[in-house]
Chain A
């Protein structure tokens, strides 16, 4: 038991410093064993450090034990690996990874609530007065209660009785905030006539409103006959600020609801001109409406929307994908057939067998990206920030005179993959396994790797240097930018090995377009080690060879979409596709 404790903790000195008797405490060793069989080898460290923080606090310790039990019960199934068919950037992969290393979650206590029962039916004045007496809070009672009512979607009759009580108290005047919340309730319950009443009142009483009021009014008005007035409200917003994309969504929806197609498209154009990204709901509305329209111009505009999705790497949601499918199938005379499928590793659509676009960059794109990486990521306006001019020159000379590489390895990242093993040994293992396949290797690292240390043995590093070319940056320089540049410099066939998702470097690129280009390149060239235990054979996460983006060949469309049940992180791509093709 004890030996395990000693071996498992790398930063033991630190632990000991914060609590000298930690290693001897029986409770602690119990815990450590407990976690060991719970999570396997990879995660002990996390639990140890957690334990170290709360070591003196028995209460927290008990909580931890309880939590560990909970995890054991709940996560038995998810304790396995990320399934091998999903790649590093597949939708949901990050979520799975995070489930593999459960973190302590902070359970924020729910805020203390004021304990007033919200009325369920209209009250009269005395009842309101009485309720107000019961209320103990800092804010004013009327604003508070209407906010609560808006939250819990009370019926508008109750809200009305509140307003009339306020009005009676206050010489017939109701405050603006109460009106806005009331308006919200009316819209929620779809009471269009009430909305118009409130609109009349607001119009008469206030010269201008603020965005929240405008947004609600627009939302309410578009369902009525007076929907055109919503456009005037939109104009009013424009006087003080750029309307939100939701405002546009509502107006477009109103226009389509009342068959004014041209207006809807011009609003859409205006939205794009403001550099706003339309909500997917807006786009879906256009498709939904398109089912009943047989008009070439309209169809072309819908196809333009699909190309907009392509250019901006947007992915429709599941319901939107259904709308697209229905629209295509409703186009007369073209006989489109749609199905929901996935794409094989080889890049063939399972539905129609066609090849999905490859994720190789065109030569121009490639040169462009290379230049940008050099300028924005490595140089970035101040060469001293990430490296020094001398080092940069040394690196560039090195890259120039070496033959193009097949694989570039992030030495430090690879070496730290298995916390239990010696770092130089892990690196040597990886390098020699790859060298056996006759690949030209480049190992990037820092100079400190060359000095003798318990983790970095000189003889092993020498062997690494024999099997691969190496470049060691200064200890305070960053090695990732060099990795990116060396890979890009070697050409399209070259891959790089690291688990790092490179998000910080992506963020250094100035515009969204270059970032997308970088991401596309990264998806096709990054290898990540999946092997869980040191010693078994080296396996990499599968690299997709195709580009996950909306695409067409004229008589077919392939549209990746987000499933409703899968949580996709911003740097991941969907795995499900809508395949559309014409019957011939």
Chain B
């Protein structure tokens, strides 16, 4: 449907690149006539570089550019009338593409409308660039898919030949049903977690702080978190609290999960986390918290705000926790990592992986491996060093023979 529209309105602009053969002959004929009449040097390039700049015929291209135009006018007249703003935007996008700007090649009616509604020029450009990147990725994926299909076909052919050669019966213990078995096993584990697992709450009360784009990102992260949780040895019992039925969140989640939504092994509820759990066992995790998390407690209920904040609304989740008088904690990122760039707000899936790891091993070094590597330059070597240092102090017999002054400085260091 949209394809035909594109074709129609693009026809004009593709002219420079795909000239019908008839006209191409004409153009070159005009050019040649012009060239040969004025500067023989150009039409016979084999001759020596005798031509001076004046003889180069610097204005020749203008004539052909103009002359090829007259014939086109016929086609322009018909489309000249429509003052449809959508068409204007479409043409704008097309011209931007000719200029080498990052805009999509094909654009649907709906996307055009969105582009038109963008208030400023920069927001238009931003949106078009987003579409451009999306289109590029899609194309690359398509090509990859085709290549894979081709190689698979080839492999199948070869295999057929091989199997034809040696058609031998083999003994196997299992039928090949791994994926399904995995799913079932994870289902069992999930059911177990529903009964006995430690709760982990995602607070969904942020839908009015987010733009549609951020909300989509949040839902993607939620999906990924749920996936990580499902695959773990000892999953959390996930709660989606404050999830309003038919709210923006709910709609998006149902859209993404499809039929599976009703079969997910987690608790989705409209109730708030303070209604479900005793207040004093709740810990709200937020990067703005003044209190640093030291250990993972197995009897507490951790809450993660499902909130992607691209507009710097600092302190939103802390304000929420303050309002409900809940304890807050933040990850000890500064204590263990040499932070370099980026915010300390981690994505939801990184959070759940860190929490899962802490739950299973209790080691911060292990857990903080899930912090993106680009954000920090390395681990603080404190625990190791101080451990060694203390050990050495304990073991060494010279412990008591340290001069007083140096002991004093040690103390100050430890602080």
Residues of A within 8 A of B (CB): 6, 12-13, 16-18, 20, 121-122, 124-127, 143, 157, 160-161, 163-164, 166-168, 171-177, 180, 197, 200-201, 204-213, 239-242, 244, 382, 384-386, 388, 475-476
B399 within 8 A of A: no
| B381 A175 Cβ-Cβ under 8 A | no
B88-A208 in contact (CB<8A): yes
Q: Please name 30 pairs of A and B residues whose Cβ atoms are closer than 8 Å in the assembled complex, sorted by A.
A: A17-B380, A18-B380, A126-B49, A160-B59, A160-B61, A163-B61, A167-B64, A171-B19, A171-B27, A171-B31, A172-B61, A172-B67, A173-B16, A173-B27, A173-B64, A175-B16, A177-B100, A204-B70, A205-B69, A205-B72, A206-B95, A207-B76, A208-B88, A212-B99, A239-B88, A240-B85, A240-B88, A384-B322, A476-B290, A476-B318
Nearest CB on B from A157, distance (A):
6
B315 contacts A by Cβ under 8 Å: yes
- CB distance B65 to A175 under 8 Å? no
Among the 9-residue stretches B142-150, B158-166, B172-180, B406-414, the one with 4 or more Cβ atoms under 8 Å from chain A is B406-414
Task: List residues of B (44-85) whose CB comes within 8 Å of A's CBs.
Answer: 45, 49, 51, 53, 56-70, 72-73, 76, 79-80, 83, 85
Q: Name the one of A143, A197, A213, A241 contacting B121, with C-beta atoms under 8 angstroms.
A: A241
Q: How far is the CA of A539 from the CA of B52 in the complex (A)?
A: 75
Contacting pair B319 A122 (CB below 8 A)? no
Partner of A176, one of B16, B76, B316: B16
Shortest A29–chain B CB gap in Å is 15
Are the CB atoms of A172 and B64 closer together than 8 Å? yes
Nearest chain-B residue to A139 (Cβ)? Answer: B100
Please measure, in the bound complex, the distance between the C-alpha atom of A317 and the C-alpha atom of B68, giving whole angstroms.
49
Q: Is the interface of B mostly helix, strand, loop or mixed?
A: helix
Per the 8 Å Cβ criterion, residues 289-316 of B in contact with A are 290, 315-316
Give the residues in chain A near B124, CB-CB below 8 Å.
241
**Residue pair B28, A210 in contact (C-beta under 8 Å):** no
What are the 6 closest A-B residue pairs judged by CB atoms, nearest first? A172-B64, A167-B61, A204-B69, A384-B319, A210-B95, A160-B58
8 new A-B pairs (CB below 8 Å) besides A207-B80, A213-B99, A240-B85?
A: A12-B412, A20-B385, A167-B31, A167-B61, A201-B62, A204-B65, A210-B96, A385-B319
With the chains together, A172 CA to B66 CA distance in Å? 10
Which residues between 29 and 51 of chain B lie within 8 Å of chain A, taking CB atoms?
A: 30-31, 35, 41-42, 45, 49, 51
B19 near A173: Cβ-Cβ < 8 Å: yes
Query: Would you call B7 an interface residue if the criterion is a C-beta within 8 Å of the partner chain's C-beta atoms?
Result: no
Indicate if the CB atoms of B16 and A172 lie closer than 8 Å. Answer: no
Residues of B within 8 A of A (CB): 12-13, 16-17, 19, 24, 27-28, 30-31, 35, 41-42, 45, 49, 51, 53, 56-70, 72-73, 76, 79-80, 83, 85, 88-89, 91-92, 95-96, 98-101, 120-121, 124, 290, 315-316, 318-320, 322-323, 338, 380-382, 385-386, 389, 409, 412-415
Q: Are A209 and B66 in contact (CB under 8 A)?
A: no
User: Chain B contacts of A20 at CB under 8 A?
Assistant: 385, 389
Q: Which chain B positions have C-beta within 8 A of A124? A: 41-42, 45, 49, 51, 56
Contact among A157, A160, A201 with B65 in the assembled complex (CB-CB below 8 Å): A201
**Are B323 and A384 in contact (CB-based, < 8 A)?**
yes
Residues in chain B near residue A476, CB distance under 8 A: 290, 318, 322
Q: In the assembled complex, how far is the CB of residue B289 from the closest CB belonging to chain A, in whole angstroms?
A: 8
Q: A122 contacts B35, CB within 8 Å?
A: no
In the complex, the chain A residue whose C-beta lies closest to that of B415 is: A13
In the complex, chain A residues whose CB is within 8 Å of the CB of B65: 167, 172-174, 201, 204-205
Interface contact tally, CB-CB below 8 A: 165
Given contacts A16-B413, A207-B91, contact A161 B31 (CB under 8 A): no
Asked if B338 contacts A168 (CB within 8 A), the reply is no
Interface of A is mostly: helix
Chain A residues near B31: list those with CB within 8 A: 167-168, 171-172
CB contact between B66 and one of A200, A208, A382, A385 (< 8 Å): that residue: A200
Q: How far is it, in angstroms, between the C-alpha of A124 and the C-alpha of B70 when the chains are bound? A: 28
Q: Which of A173, A242, A244 has the most B CB atoms < 10 Å from its CB?
A: A173
Q: Contact between B92 and A161 (Cβ–Cβ < 8 Å)? A: no
B60 and A167 contacting across the interface, CB-CB below 8 Å? yes
Say which residue of B12, B58, B68 sits within 8 Å of A173 (CB atoms): B68
Known interface pairs A17-B381, A161-B56, A171-B28. Does A143 touch B88 (Cβ–Cβ under 8 Å)? no
A205 CB contacts on chain B under 8 angstroms: 16, 65, 68-69, 72
Question: How many whole Å from B166's CB to the nearest CB in chain A?
Answer: 49
Query: Is A122's CB under 8 angstroms from B58's CB?
Result: yes
Most buried by B among A16, A122, A164: A164
Q: How far is the CA of A172 from the CA of B61 in the complex (A)?
A: 6
Determine whether the beta carbon of A126 is less than 8 Å from that of B45. yes
**Are the CB atoms of B98 and A175 closer together than 8 Å?**
yes
For A382, list chain B residues within 8 Å (CB). 316, 319
Q: Which of B28, B53, B121 contacts A122 (CB 8 A)?
A: B53
Whether B98 lies near A176 (C-beta < 8 A) is yes
Let me know if B95 and A209 touch, CB within 8 A.
yes
The answer to whether A180 touches B61, judged by C-beta atoms less than 8 angstroms apart, is no
Would B121 and A157 count as touching, CB distance under 8 A? no
Q: How far is the CA of A382 from the CA of B206 in the complex (A)?
A: 14
Q: Chain A residue with minimal CB distance to B52?
A: A122
For A197, the closest partner residue in chain B by CB is B62
Contact of B56 among A164, A166, A210 (CB under 8 A): A164
Given A241-B121, A384-B323, A177 and B99 contact (CB-CB distance below 8 Å): yes
Q: In the bound complex, do residue A210 and residue B58 qualify as a contact, i.e. CB atoms below 8 Å apart? A: no
A205 to B72, CA, bound (A): 8
- Quick check: A166 and B382 within 8 Å, CB to CB? no
Q: Which A residues are CB-close (under 8 A) to B85?
A: 239-240
